[in-house]
Amino acid sequence: MSFNYVKHERISLKNNPEFNETQIQGIIANDPSILGLGDLILKDKERIQPHAGRLDLLLQDEDSTKRWEVEVQLGKTDESHIIRTIEYWDIEKKRYPQYDHCAVIIAEDITSRFLNVISLFHGAIPLIAIQMSAVKVGDKVSLIFTKVLDQTQIGLIDEDEEESELTDRTYWEQLRGTKKTVSMADDALALINSFAPGLVLKYNKFYIGLARDGQPDNFVIFRPQRNAMRLELRIAKSDDVEKKIDAAGLVMLDYDARWGRYRLKLDIGDVKKHDVFLTELLKLAQQEK
């Protein structure tokens, strides 16, 4: 099998007068998927920060409460680039605590020196470093984004962690979801108690779990949002389960292979509307734990 090979030329955006940061921001804003961070949407560009500058890009996962604060720099990254990225991440995190925030630093050249500096924050600050390369093929230019430092999930990622930060119902009703979406967890609990009595809701910072006699029993967790609730069921991945979810008309976001969970998006009223099928899924998750 033969193919047409085209040699490319790597170019420097920083040293080329045809390019500037605004152009690169626009390219990313038009198609955030090129960063390799998932199916994201643009929330804002050149976002004004109180008593600071402007955040290049604010991206968001439309199916979750995850946001990315993105700073772009042509050429090498430097101290001001790193500080600016972390500062804007911190401002957005404090202004909008109902979201999960991650800082993203993008530069053409992330030297080992500054990669080491960035690594010092790894674990304390959710931060991703992406190296941007520009290549020219003929008269066309393409951008390649390579993740050189990924976000480290620490502390509260495991819903069974005994040291998880506890909150209360008010926190979820006012900051993360609403009274209506939190009440969806009550409706789901009623289904669970029909076959597993004694379980109660346990309000953690990043999810609402289950507990029995004060001990976590998280075969399912709930993440109420402003207009819906995310239901995450610990069930082994199965074509049969996925066909049943699709046939029921429920929205399956994805399968989290790391934690072995199906993630479903439920709109207000869906728990009662699909009570029979959801009870079946909840029983299956409880049996497989």
Output the domain CATH number for residue 276: 3.90.1150
- Looking at the fold, whether 174 and 250 belong to one and the same domain comes out as yes
pLDDT reported for residue 251:
92
- Looking at the fold, whether 138 and 184 belong to one and the same domain comes out as no
- Looking at the fold, whether 72 and 144 belong to one and the same domain comes out as yes
Identify the CA nearest to 87 among candidates 67, 108, 69: 69
Q: Pick the last residue of a domain from 85, 120, 149.
A: 149
- Looking at the fold, whether 123 and 244 belong to one and the same domain comes out as no
The beta strand positions in 115-176, using DSSP E, are 127-137, 140-149
- Give me the CATH number covering residue 100: 3.40.1350.10
- Residue 176's domain comprises 169-288
Q: Pick the last residue of a domain from 97, 115, 149.
A: 149
Q: Pick the last residue of a domain from 120, 149, 178.
A: 149
In a domain, 75, yes or no: yes
- Looking at the fold, whether 21 and 145 belong to one and the same domain comes out as yes
- Looking at the fold, whether 174 and 218 belong to one and the same domain comes out as yes
- Looking at the fold, whether 84 and 189 belong to one and the same domain comes out as no
Distance from C-alpha of 111 to C-alpha of 131, rounded to nearest angstrom: 10
**Which residue pairs, CB below 8 angstroms and at least 24 apart, start in 19-26?**
19/74, 19/134, 20/74, 21/56, 21/72, 21/73, 21/74, 24/72, 24/74, 24/132, 24/143, 25/56, 25/57, 25/72
- Looking at the fold, whether 92 and 175 belong to one and the same domain comes out as no
Q: What is the DSSP letter of 151?
A: P
| pLDDT tens sequence for the chain (289 residues) | 566 777 778 888 888 888 889 999 999 999 999 998 888 889 999 999 887 789 999 999 866 678 999 999 998 888 888 889 999 999 999 988 878 899 999 999 887 777 777 777 666 788 888 999 988 888 888 899 998 887 654 443 444 443 456 789 999 999 899 999 999 999 999 999 999 999 999 999 889 999 999 889 999 999 999 999 999 999 998 899 999 999 999 999 888 876 889 999 999 999 999 999 999 999 999 998 6
Q: How many domains does the chain have?
A: 2
- The angle at the Cα of 159, spanning 184 to 262, to the nearest 5 degrees, equals 60
pLDDT reported for residue 197:
95
pLDDT reported for residue 63:
65
- Give 31: exposed, middle or buried? Use CB within 10 Å, 0-12, 13-18, 19+: exposed
Using alpha carbons, list the distances in angstroms from residue 74 to 59, 108, 169, 219: 20, 6, 45, 46
